[in-house]
Amino acid sequence: MLEPRIKGAAFGAFLLLGSLLGAESAIGVNWGTVSFHKLKPSAVVDLLKDNKIEKVKLFEAEPDALRALAGSGIQVMVGIPNDLLAILSSSPAASDLWVRQNVSAYVGKDGVDIRYVAVGNEPFLTSYAGQYVNYVVPTLLNLQQSLAKANLAGSVKLVVPCNADAYEANLPSQGAFRPELTDIMTQLVSFLNTNGSPFVVNIYPFLSLYGSSDFPQDYAFFEGTTHPVTDGNNVYTNAFDGNFDTLVAALTKIGYSQMPIVIGEVGWPTDGALNANLSAARAFNQGLINHVLSNRGTPLRPGVPPMDVYLFSLLDEGAKSVLPGNFERHWGIFSFDGQAKYALNLGRGSKLLKNARNVQYLPSRWCIADPTKDLSSVANHFRLACSEADCTTLNYGGSCNGIGAKGNISYAFNSYYQLRMQNSQSCDFDGIGLVTFLNPSVGECRFLVGVTDTSFAKFRACSNRLIYLVLVLWGLRFLGVY
């Protein structure tokens, strides 16, 4: 029974790939909102349009963002958080409700151009220890039926963003999915192929460099390397191509050698770790964009680059977890307030990024440590400030790491002060804090001023998901469905 399935899959994927040969790869962005200082969604959409970014990926269906995207012409991938997979996999009614509230409610004339629904975010990640694995395919099947009921199955495609740790190999040509994932991946890719969806993968050469002192630094970039990887007749000079072709080989092993691939996340942080800086981020992202738009492809897919590439990310997110590393809050090609960090040509005509317009800042004032006061008892105040605000640039490898002890205290105080919307009491610190109208920024170490359109996005997002789950469970139980 296996051989006919493989042949059918190969033929279907061949047709899909053929349609891609005449299509140009598009550069999109991930729009994350886990930030203490959050721009108005309308300002972010204007930023996307001003930079001619035509594709955006959201990590969940945030109503404010979706409303702002309506009528923009920007193609949208909207995500479903992993913590919703359990109920969506077990309840068709919950699936119908999710589609109704988060897709049907926004599409249509002058609505949101939703092209994809991302089911989960890296649900096969090794660190999750398999807790989401068995929910993925049932969720896909339920959502596909829900989209069909809403007459959206032809225009909205389901995908599953996977981390590159879903596959492994010593050489790209030996690529294979992790043994415990082979069956589930075969089911997943069969579903994607049948429904005309691409395989979405997140590739991060920075994390390879960050995680291993033996990883050749120049192999992470696109300017050539003194440590190429030779794989038979193929020679790999950058980690991106090697990783991509490892996935191609893994897909080939399960019978889908021509499956279209989208890069759901790829990028380089600008702060918070060694090798995370402006020049490295610009070199990587520009090298990536040039490489993809050249249509060179990779050794296993010459002339066929990824279908689309979504840079991670659009904006810095100062409220993200730093469990993976302090760099997690500094992936943006723009700072939190929509200001370009470095020159980047997205291949859309302009060689420079355009800054966000009409950003509403708080007054130009900062909180610093009073230089006339004794700072010997400041430790608890410092810990308090950094436990709530973002102080990741102060750590080893960060842009503010070299500003000295007093500078560190002032940076922490100011971060807390801006987070608290410049409330006068938030710069007291038992009399040690002092409000100043002189910008204390030093070199690349920027003492920020908050924006007036701020919100605790991470807490709102969590509460929204919780409210959704509670309402769904209550409603379905009331109806006797769940």
Q: Which residues are catalytic?
A: 122, 265
**Within 150-254, where are the H helices?**
182-194, 205-211, 239-253
Residue 87 phi, psi (nearest 5): -75, -35
User: 3-state DSSP call for residue 343?
Assistant: coil
User: 3-state DSSP call for residue 323?
Assistant: coil
DSSP state at residue 104: I
What is the bridge-based pairing of β-strands 157-159 and 113-119? parallel
What is the bridge-based pairing of β-strands 162-163 and 199-202? parallel
What span, in angstroms and rounded, lies between the C-alpha atoms of 68 and 43? 9
Rg over alpha carbons for the chain, rounded to the nearest Å, is 24
Please list, in sequence order, all residues whose beta carbon lies within 8 angstroms of the beta carbon of residue 256, skipping any fewer than 6 positions away: 9, 10, 13, 189, 190, 193
Structural contact between residues 65 and 58, judged by C-beta atoms closer than 8 angstroms: yes
Provide the residue type at 473 as one letter.
Answer: L
Closest CA to 61 of 433, 442, 465: 465
Which residue in this structure is represented by tokens 């399935």? 5
Which residue in this structure is represented by tokens 């049948």? 194
Supply the DSSP string of 346-405, one letter for each residue.
Answer: -SSS-SSPPPPSS--BPPS-EEEE-TTS--TT-HHHHHHHHHHS--GGGSTTSTTTTSHH
Structural contact between residues 217 and 275, judged by C-beta atoms closer than 8 angstroms: yes
Structural contact between residues 120 and 80, judged by C-beta atoms closer than 8 angstroms: yes
What span, in angstroms and rounded, lies between the C-alpha atoms of 352 and 374? 46
Please list, in sequence order, all residues whose beta carbon lies within 8 angstroms of the beta carbon of residue 301, skipping any fewer than 6 positions away: 244, 245, 248
Closest CA to 188 of 222, 168, 158: 158
What span, in angstroms and rounded, lies between the C-alpha atoms of 17 and 30? 24
Q: Assign 3-class secondary structure to 406-438.
A: HHHHHHHHHHHHHHCCCCHHHHCCCCCEEEECC
Token pair in block for residue 140: 């896909």
What span, in angstroms and rounded, lies between the C-alpha atoms of 59 and 412? 29
User: 3-state DSSP call for residue 228?
Assistant: coil
